[in-house]
């Protein structure tokens, strides 16, 4: 298992580097059972790459089809800001 892509379990630093999520946030999510993990002992936590990929896929939000980017941006702005911008 010399190739990193062949690893089945990764540690928290590797998951942080892979996802861009801070280590402290990952520890917090572990305590809240928000991220799939494998607890090998009280202090040893690892993450299954297939489970993490599935978890991330489940978090993905589909794009709004048939709606232009401008309309999506307009909807995300406050009504007061839209008035100031003349929209």
For the stretch 55-81, pLDDT in tens is 999 988 887 776 555 555 555 555 555
Tokens of 22: 């801070």
pLDDT digit string, tens, across residues 3-36: 556 688 999 999 999 999 999 999 999 999 999 9
Residue 63 confidence (pLDDT):
77
Please state, rounded to an integer, the average pLDDT across all residues of the chain: 82
Tokens of 80: 């007061």
| CATH code assigned to 1-61 | 1.10.10.10
Spatial distance between the Cα atoms of 14 and 20, rounded to a whole number of angstroms: 10
Give residue limits of the domains in the chain: 1-61
């Amino acid at each position: 298992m010399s190739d990193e892509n062949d690893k089945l379990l990764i540690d928290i630093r590797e998951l942080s580097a892979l996802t861009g999520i801070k280590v402290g946030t990952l520890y917090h999510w572990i305590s809240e059972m928000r991220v799939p993990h494998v607890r090998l002992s009280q202090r040893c936590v690892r993450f299954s790459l297939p489970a993490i990929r599935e978890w991330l896929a489940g978090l993905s939000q589909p794009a709004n089809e048939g709606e232009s980017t401008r309309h999506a941006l307009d909807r995300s702005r406050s009504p007061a800001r839209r008035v100031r911008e003349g929209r």
